[in-house]
Structure 1
Amino acid sequence: MTNFRTFTELVLERSEARKDADAFVFLPDDARGSVPQHLTSTALDQEARRIASWLQDRNAAKRQVLLLYPAGLDFIKAFTACMYAGAVAVPGPLPAEQGQHFARISGILRDAEACAVLTDSANAPAISAWLAAEGFTDVACLATDDPAQGDAGAWHAPSLTPESLAFLQYTSGSTSDPKGVVVSHGNLLANEAAIQRSIGTSSESVCGGWLPFYHDMGLIGHILHPLYLGAQGVLMAPFTFLKRPYRWLKMISDYGMTTGGGPNFAYDLCVRRVTDAQLETLDLSTWTTACNGAEPVRAETIRAFTERFAPVGFRPEAMFPCYGMAETTLLVTGIPRGAAARVLDVDAEALERGELADPRGDFSTRSLVSSGIARDFEIRVVDPETLVEKPAGHVGEIWLKGDSVASGYWKRPATNKEIFEAVISGGTGEQDTGWLRTGDLGALQDGELYVTGRLKELVILAGRNLYPQDVERAVQSTDKALGAGAGAVFAVESDREHLVAIQEVRPAAVATDLHTVASGIQSFISKEFSVPAGNVLLVRPGTIRKTTSGKIQRTLMRKLFLEGGITPLYEVLEPAVRELIVSAEAEADDAATDADADAANSLVPVV
């Protein structure tokens, strides 16, 4: 733990100590290849002071400032400037980068009550036009790459405490009701210290990756952690990685990176798309911590990645399965340093009952990957309905306490009381109050945490508890033409529950026909899980919606399905389920008709 009271104090000291050493290197992706862009600690400090002076002139201290940037060094300068100004940074996705309009950002801007938007010269005109169109006439927009804006010499240190807000981390959610996690300077310092203790980083480490800068792992793990350490960060854009996963591993190899990672799907992508010729150019021996989190960690992915990249220096103990979330700033648990990932095979039927039990002979099993131990948190596993604590080896909702836990969501007092101030039933002492309800399901076994799924996504069918990711993996195992990590399983209800599986397929890779592929999926699900699988939709690649960190948005996929918003290449639907879609579409049409009528009536003059 540092002796600094705020992250601003820490960055000021680190900048003074490192001076002309690179704070960050960014590898852009353009037609000429990647020409590294360097940002020294002194340059970062001066730019942050300049931009902060502009914010201070506009009384932005203790007020929210929205950051909308493409991946690059300008975001880092702006985020640091907010800390220098004592303002509250609000990182958001640049709409043009996400292929969407400004709907989500409008919701964030309104909810956060931002007083200014920081961006770059290329995007400032469109953002200014959006602000004007939405009526945000009192929200200033600054292109921070204009050196004429602000004066580094006019900057003055802000008055901050550990309780002062550092930033709002908006979680993936609806455009109409975005939720911003309130992260204080104290929360941030506590979690950065927890990360350092967990993975053993130092000022000699080289950290970074490709995750979006507005994502908690990208921001806190890949940008703020090297700042915290006084180390170098090396970064690239998400698109660069997704287009060519080899570039990520080559960056690690070229810069001798020690620390970085991503969601499970990133490792799958590397296994599938890095060629033998590319493999020969890599040296991954410096990579000591390959963080694997943000979505369920798959045992088969760990095995495949480790085997594929062992010849170029990747060691089994480098894989670091971990667990965390925005509500805890970032990291909660991770496997012990120097230990290989632990995989626990359990009886599938017992897991459905909420118990971790040893496999039984020829009966079905499930492989769970340990998310490790908690060094800086208290963890309890609690029955989500009775709120009674569960014993070790039993599945329940994961509840947490610790200095990294945020105070709540921005302007959500009722939700905060339910989520951030939970009480374990039957407890009388102080230790049983003030728990964070994560919404995640898991179990503790031998002091290690095994995350099994999301509470709201659990499929209850024929009295059984099915984890959607287990069914999705089973689906994808039936044919090589089915994309790994590119399916969504959920339940819909008529007079009973029905299982629905939507799966991306590469038609050119199908050896038979789509009817045979769908039939194979139905047969395998019925055999593997002993439940009817009457509803299968095979869709084009890119149909399955995911968050910026690669998590399957099953709730959104269910909504789109019921609204008739999925266009399949091939489908098999039960009649009762088809009626649900027709009914939902009719309700939507009625609502639209009513809205049109209301709009028309509003134009009729009152006499």
Structure 2
Amino acid sequence: MSSPMTVWRALERHAAAHPDRVAFTYLRFGAPTPDGRDNVRAEDVTYGDLRDRAIDYAERLGTLDRPAGAVLLLYASGLDFVSTFLGCLLAGVPSVPAPPPRRPYARIAERLTGIIEDAGVWVGTAAANVSVRELAFLTPRLTELAWLDPPAPADRGRRGPVTERITEGAAYLQYTSGSTSAPKGVEVTHANLIEQVNALDERFGHDSTSVMVSWLPVFHDMGLIYSVVTPLVLGFRSVLMLPEDFAARPIRWLRAIQDYRGTHSMAPNFGFDLCVRKVAESERQGLDLSSWQVSADASEPIRARTVTAFERVYGSYGLAPTAHRPAYGLAEATLIVTGGGPEHRAKWLPVKRDSLGNGQIELHTEDVWDVVSCGPPFDGFDLRIVDPETHLEVPHRVEGEIWVSGPCVADGYYGKAEATEETFRARLSGDHSQVPYLRTGDLGFLDDGELYVTGRRKDIIIVRGQNHYPQDIEQVAESAHPGLRQGCGAAFALDAYDERIGLAFEVREDVAGESLAEVADAARRAVAETFGITLDTIALMPTGTIPKTSSGKIRRSECRRRLLAGVLEVHRVFGGASPATGPADTTGTTGTTGTTGTTAAMPPALLVPALRLAAARIIGVDPGGIDDHAPFAQYGLDSLGAEELAGVCAQLLRIEVPATVVYDNPTLHGLATALARLQ
């Protein structure tokens, strides 16, 4: 009997058959050239080299006295991550991909500590630009780990046969994004990985000539499974870049697809939105996307307006009408559960807004949400729409909780038996087969065999694919100013298909007039600095007016409903609160290179006006309202905006400007001074 396929055995097969074939390419972006073009350096690794590097790492792991536990991998992307991840698989030690520490540090420190303790991490490996010693102030736990350097390039062919050590349980732990206080590691098995790759291949179609192009972070399930594991198992090339390099200049993704004749890629909705809003028409000149066969769209609510705009803009550059493939998935099911094949075009249904959340879905022509189809379930998945209270399956076009069963569903949460039983072992009422289902916590409905996702059963807020628990946001906000009443606030997404966040909070009775603006600014700044996200709307309310249940729990959904309907009792609302109309159609009018640069050094006095205009455009505020010495976070600049501003600075000055320069100098005056020193 032949051994079952694993990721490592797939690498062994490709390394034996094609040792000199390029497996991965990593793109490094430096300072722009004098004419403003990207200065990019490509690093390749072949299947033979990759095998040698992974063996080197596995052998060094084997020399350590190790307790039971996992290996922490602090990488955003890169060839070193691929080889260390494979080395862990070979050694039979579960790895834990995690984001390298970056500002805001407060949140990542707590999250890293929680992951290290939960997974029993005993050794770590980090990207070359991550200094563990310098980051020791974040959490003492980092200094308690044994740290291994990533494997160095080796002479191909010097490694002989090796034996993969396969242990029962997780091949790796995928920690779900979300609450800082209780991280949960999904136990993804070797079988889960291979089953997911086979399902992706059946639906999206790959062969040896396929080319993946991805900016997704490898610590995220989308980046790891589709951009690393899938190409590796199936034997085709993958081209990787850092997510911050994409955020600074989204055209880099599209140009890489053109230059490498990319055929497949995957991104969340915001990635496609950035390509519409932040790539100027001048940057798109000569772009050829005719090789792009599958642009999978997943990880967060998919907006029909974004799909329409992306297809309209890039269809004229060769993008096929069948390329855009909305999909649905989650880490607990390894990655993707539903998605369209080559015969599917993106489509949506006009659902009456007030029917959402009320069971029966009504289609209408006015006051509707265009709910995007995420396609039919992948082969092998059993997907049901279930009443979350009765556990009875509901008919088509009736909203309920999405339940999933199949070979890609993970074993459970590491070390959390109760949470595993509740989430991974659900049973349908009246189903005598007693098949266990994964409760996704997502709401949706089926129509003509295709899944339409409508929101979350719980109050989780999703921004750029990252989960944020409202209680975390509320706690940070209330600690930002004594004028906010503790335990009397609600954070919520302003709509199911919208990344805008609203915050409603009661204020103390002695807070009024001009001091309300001070309170709102403090809350907005604290949330931006802690979570890297922007509060679009802040409603400050009189004491005793926030909606609560009879047991005293905050009714976040009701608070949101009243705010959007204009019936919430408030002192004052900062920002705009109305149902979203989608991103502004700015096609061809904006881009990261909108300011004409010069190679001559610019003093701070000249930099400040240019930076003011750039920051105002990114944030969406009046340039005259930005004070030279006020923190950017006060005006709502989040982490994505900071990366975009760094990209604008790089284009303006023709120098390399990491996003950390913006984080470290978060005012117009401070940033201008820092940039003057860099020139």
The equivalent residue for 1:469 is: 495
The equivalent residue for 1:76 is: 82
Give aligned pairs, total: 501
Q: Which has the higher contact order (CA 8 A, sep 6+)?
A: 2
Deviation at 1:110, TM superposition (A): 1.0
Determine helix, strand or coil for the equivalent of 1:469: coil
Q: Deviations over 1:568-592 (max 9, x none)?
A: xxxxxxxxxxxxxxxxxxxxxxxxx
Measured at CA, do residues 152 and 158 of structure 1 come closer, stay the same or move farther in structure 2, by a change above 3 Å? Answer: farther
Q: Deviations over 1:468-527 (max 9, x none)?
A: 435848999xxxxxxxx9666899634774228999xxxxxxxxxxxxx969945x5599
The equivalent residue for 2:636 is: 541
The equivalent residue for 1:29 is: 29
The equivalent residue for 2:17 is: 17
Measured at CA, do residues 341 and 147 of structure 1 come closer, stay the same or move farther in structure 2, by a change above 3 Å? Answer: closer
Deviation at 1:357, TM superposition (A): 2.4
* Contact in 2 for aligned 1:61/1:87 (Cα 8 Å): no
Deviation at 1:455, TM superposition (A): 0.8
Please state if 1:499 is matched with 2:548.
Answer: no
Please state if 1:319 is matched with 2:286.
Answer: no
Measured at CA, do residues 212 and 458 of structure 1 come closer, stay the same or move farther in structure 2, by a change above 3 Å? Answer: closer
Cα distance in 2 for partners of 1:332, 1:526 equals 28
* Contact in 2 for aligned 1:210/1:237 (Cα 8 Å): yes
Partner amino acid, structure 2, of 1:110: E
Deviation at 1:59, TM superposition (A): 5.6
* Contact in 2 for aligned 1:76/1:223 (Cα 8 Å): yes
* Contact in 2 for aligned 1:489/1:499 (Cα 8 Å): no
* Contact in 1 for aligned 2:349/2:371 (Cα 8 Å): yes
**1:411 aligned to which of 385, 410, 415:** 415
Deviation at 1:63, TM superposition (A): 4.1
Identical positions, percent? 36
Q: Which moved more, 1:333-342 or 1:216-225?
A: 333-342
Cα distance in 1 for partners of 2:493, 2:395 equals 21
What is the 5 A alignment of 1:374-523? Answer: 374=377, 375-427=379-431, 429-430=432-433, 432-457=434-459, 468-470=494-496, 472=498, 493-494=547-548, 497-499=558-560, 521=576
Measured at CA, do residues 540 and 18 of structure 1 come closer, stay the same or move farther in structure 2, by a change above 3 Å? Answer: farther
* Contact in 2 for aligned 1:213/1:219 (Cα 8 Å): yes
Deviation at 1:124, TM superposition (A): 5.0
Cα distance in 2 for partners of 1:48, 1:455 equals 42
| RMSD of Structure 2 on Structure 1 (CA) | 3.5
Cα distance in 1 for partners of 2:150, 2:91 equals 14
Normalising to structure 2: TM-score of the pair?
0.68
The equivalent residue for 1:133 is: 140
Deviation at 1:264, TM superposition (A): 0.4
Cα distance in 1 for partners of 2:254, 2:222 equals 18
* Contact in 1 for aligned 2:394/2:400 (Cα 8 Å): yes
Deviation at 1:120, TM superposition (A): 4.2
* Contact in 2 for aligned 1:264/1:293 (Cα 8 Å): yes
**1:105 aligned to which of 112, 117, 130:** 112
**1:55 aligned to which of 61, 72, 77:** 61
Cα distance in 2 for partners of 1:16, 1:526 equals 54
Please state if 1:373 is matched with 2:373.
Answer: no
Cα distance in 2 for partners of 1:234, 1:179 equals 30
Deviation at 1:302, TM superposition (A): 0.7
Measured at CA, do residues 325 and 440 of structure 1 come closer, stay the same or move farther in structure 2, by a change above 3 Å? Answer: same
The equivalent residue for 1:293 is: 298
Cα distance in 2 for partners of 1:167, 1:307 equals 40
* Contact in 2 for aligned 1:475/1:525 (Cα 8 Å): no
Partner amino acid, structure 1, of 2:111: R
Cα distance in 2 for partners of 1:500, 1:262 equals 30
Measured at CA, do residues 240 and 14 of structure 1 come closer, stay the same or move farther in structure 2, by a change above 3 Å? Answer: same
Measured at CA, do residues 106 and 92 of structure 1 come closer, stay the same or move farther in structure 2, by a change above 3 Å? Answer: same
Measured at CA, do residues 519 and 212 of structure 1 come closer, stay the same or move farther in structure 2, by a change above 3 Å? Answer: closer
Cα distance in 1 for partners of 2:161, 2:80 equals 19
The equivalent residue for 2:7 is: 7
* Contact in 2 for aligned 1:226/1:232 (Cα 8 Å): yes
Deviation at 1:129, TM superposition (A): 4.5
Q: Deviations over 1:267-291 (max 9, x none)?
A: 1111111111211131111111001
The equivalent residue for 2:130 is: 123
The equivalent residue for 2:656 is: none
The equivalent residue for 2:121 is: 114
* Contact in 2 for aligned 1:47/1:152 (Cα 8 Å): no
* Contact in 2 for aligned 1:107/1:178 (Cα 8 Å): yes
What is the 5 A alignment of 1:166-185? Answer: 166-185=171-190
Cα distance in 2 for partners of 1:217, 1:8 equals 19
Measured at CA, do residues 60 and 204 of structure 1 come closer, stay the same or move farther in structure 2, by a change above 3 Å? Answer: farther
Q: Deviations over 1:201-225 (max 9, x none)?
A: 1221101310111000000011111
Measured at CA, do residues 187 and 525 of structure 1 come closer, stay the same or move farther in structure 2, by a change above 3 Å? Answer: closer
Deviation at 1:540, TM superposition (A): 2.4
Determine helix, strand or coil for the equivalent of 2:559: strand
The equivalent residue for 1:144 is: 150
* Contact in 1 for aligned 2:301/2:498 (Cα 8 Å): no
* Contact in 2 for aligned 1:23/1:40 (Cα 8 Å): yes
Determine helix, strand or coil for the equivalent of 1:305: helix
Measured at CA, do residues 30 and 435 of structure 1 come closer, stay the same or move farther in structure 2, by a change above 3 Å? Answer: same
Q: Which runs of 5+ in 1 are unaligned?
A: 460-465, 477-484, 504-516, 528-537, 549-607
Q: Deviations over 1:212-255 (max 9, x none)?
A: 11000000011111101100000110000100001111111111
Cα distance in 2 for partners of 1:39, 1:184 equals 26
Cα distance in 1 for partners of 2:142, 2:277 equals 47
Normalising to structure 1: TM-score of the pair?
0.75
The equivalent residue for 1:158 is: 164
* Contact in 2 for aligned 1:299/1:368 (Cα 8 Å): yes
Measured at CA, do residues 490 and 439 of structure 1 come closer, stay the same or move farther in structure 2, by a change above 3 Å? Answer: farther
Determine helix, strand or coil for the equivalent of 2:495: helix
Please state if 1:273 is matched with 2:278.
Answer: yes
Partner amino acid, structure 2, of 1:109: I
Deviation at 1:444, TM superposition (A): 0.8
Measured at CA, do residues 305 and 353 of structure 1 come closer, stay the same or move farther in structure 2, by a change above 3 Å? Answer: same
* Contact in 1 for aligned 2:69/2:119 (Cα 8 Å): no
* Contact in 2 for aligned 1:393/1:443 (Cα 8 Å): yes
Partner amino acid, structure 2, of 1:215: H
